[in-house]
A = this chain, B = another copy of it.
Amino acid sequence: MSLYAASVPQLKKMLNNVDKWLEAAVEHAKSKSFDPNVLASSRLAPDQYPLTRQIQAIADNAKFCAARLTGKEAPKHPDTETTIDELRARLRAVVEYLDTFTEADFADSKGRLVELSFMPGKVLSTADYLNEMALPNFYFHVSMAYAILRHNGVPLGKMNYIGSLNLKDK
């Protein structure tokens, strides 16, 4: 299994899924006559990230995953979003960034080492980085965004999380 196949297509799909949840959140807020941006500051515990930071973390985890696996410089996003519309634009910007990657960009990925700013002097292999850090962390923030929305009554179900599957006829 290539590092590309294990990352980019799934990251893109999940970013698009989260974008649709935020669209559903805006619809839910309209139907209940509350400001959808109330949801942006909602959180599950007082010392946990609110939805805004969860979405920013989703976007950053996805872009840094592709950048670190391929040795590229990720684009900068300054975390200035304050509305659901701005958060959705942030997600779409990362989908566009991921669209620039192909299998060919990952040709040298296997032998690459990943440095993490909070672990000075240490490195991870790209496979370990993907399996132990990038994917678990990405799905963590995706799931927290889902949980915050569900906790606030936005009508989402598991298939909105899983999204499309590459099914084949038996």
- Residue numbers of A with Cβ under 8 A of B are 1-3, 5-6, 9-10, 13-14, 44-45, 48, 110, 113, 115, 119, 121-125, 127-128, 130-133, 135-137, 139-140, 143-144, 146-147, 150-151, 153, 158, 161-163, 165-170
Contact = CB atoms under 8 A, between A and B. Distances in A.
Contacts of A153: 45
A139 B147 contact: no
A128 B137 CA distance: 20
Q: How many copies does the complex hold?
A: 2
A96 to B, nearest CB: 21
A28 to B, nearest CB: 13
Contact of A133 (B5, B110, B137, B162): B162
A137 to B, nearest CB: 7
Contacts of A135: 135, 139
